[in-house]
């Protein structure tokens, strides 16, 4: 990666990033543009260039407005999510009532219930709020013994905020 700059790397691969866009804090309005909204992941805290009374994190990206929605860390929590199409390793009918779900490689599996909608996607409801996964990360579902039950790309819809 050129100088450890993923934005430069993506551009050298012919993948242009979106241009500058506003940073929006729902309770305080809009701030000056950030240099490229498209290259800023959900959950990022550093490099936003915004001074505020507490650290701010990227909560969402508004592609239509090319804007970043930011907020304090508690607003980054979520209690549920819905994934993209899942790969089932065990038939959902054979799953235990309580399962564990991991949505980030650094995260330990967290207790969850009912992570299936009867279709190809997973509806995951965590027992306690977790940090909102970044879209495209994998949601891995396992039983109490660590046996993998399913995996899917997460999330494909917004999380229910816990704030």
* pLDDT band of 104, cuts 50, 70, 90: confident
More confident residue, 157 or 63: 63
DSSP 135: T
Domain termination site, one of 19, 44, 71: 71
On whether residue 161 sits in a domain, the answer given is no
- pLDDT at res. 90: 92
SS3 81: strand
Which pTM does this prediction carry? 0.69
Report the distance separating Cα 71 and Cα 73, nearest Å.
7
CB atoms inside a 10 Å sphere around CB 118 = 8
Of 122, 49, 47, give the one whose Cα is nearest residue 80. Answer: 122
Are 135 and 80 within one domain? Answer: yes
On whether residue 121 sits in a domain, the answer given is yes
Mean pLDDT, to the nearest integer, of 128-132?
86
Report the distance separating Cα 124 and Cα 141, nearest Å.
9
* pLDDT band of 111, cuts 50, 70, 90: very high
On whether residue 57 sits in a domain, the answer given is yes
Are 12 and 53 within one domain? Answer: yes
On whether residue 139 sits in a domain, the answer given is yes
More confident residue, 75 or 5: 75
Q: What's the pLDDT tens digit per position in 50-93? A: 778 888 888 887 777 778 888 888 888 888 888 888 899 998 88
On whether residue 163 sits in a domain, the answer given is no
Q: What CATH number does residue 23 fall under?
A: 2.30.30
**Does the pLDDT value for residue 158 go beyond 60?**
no
Query: 99 is in which domain, residue-wise?
Result: 76-154
* Total domains, the chain: 2
On whether residue 22 sits in a domain, the answer given is yes
Q: What's the pLDDT tens digit per position in 12-53? A: 777 666 667 778 887 776 666 655 566 677 777 787 777 788
On whether residue 160 sits in a domain, the answer given is no
Domain termination site, one of 31, 55, 71: 71
On whether residue 162 sits in a domain, the answer given is no
**Does the pLDDT value for residue 7 go beyond 50?**
yes
Q: What's the pLDDT tens digit per position in 136-145? A: 788 899 998 9
Contact present, 115 and 141 (Cβ < 8 Å):
yes
Domain termination site, one of 39, 71, 103: 71
Are 43 and 84 within one domain? Answer: no
């Amino acid at each position: 990666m050129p100088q450890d700059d993923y934005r430069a790397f993506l551009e050298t691969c012919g993948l242009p990033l979106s241009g500058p866009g506003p940073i929006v804090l729902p309770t305080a309005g809009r701030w000056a543009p950030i240099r490229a909204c498209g290259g800023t992941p959900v959950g990022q805290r550093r490099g936003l260039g915004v001074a505020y009374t507490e650290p701010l994190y990227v909560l969402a990206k508004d592609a239509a407005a090319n804007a970043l929605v930011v907020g304090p860390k508690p607003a980054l929590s979520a209690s549920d999510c819905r994934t993209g199409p899942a790969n089932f390793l065990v038939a959902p009918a054979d799953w235990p009532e309580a399962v564990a779900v991991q949505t980030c490689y650094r995260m330990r599996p967290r207790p969850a219930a009912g992570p299936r909608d009867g279709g190809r996607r997973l509806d995951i409801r965590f027992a306690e709020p977790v940090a909102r996964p970044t879209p495209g990360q994998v949601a891995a579902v396992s039983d109490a013994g660590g046996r993998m039950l399913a995996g899917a790309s997460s999330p494909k819809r917004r999380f229910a905020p816990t704030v």
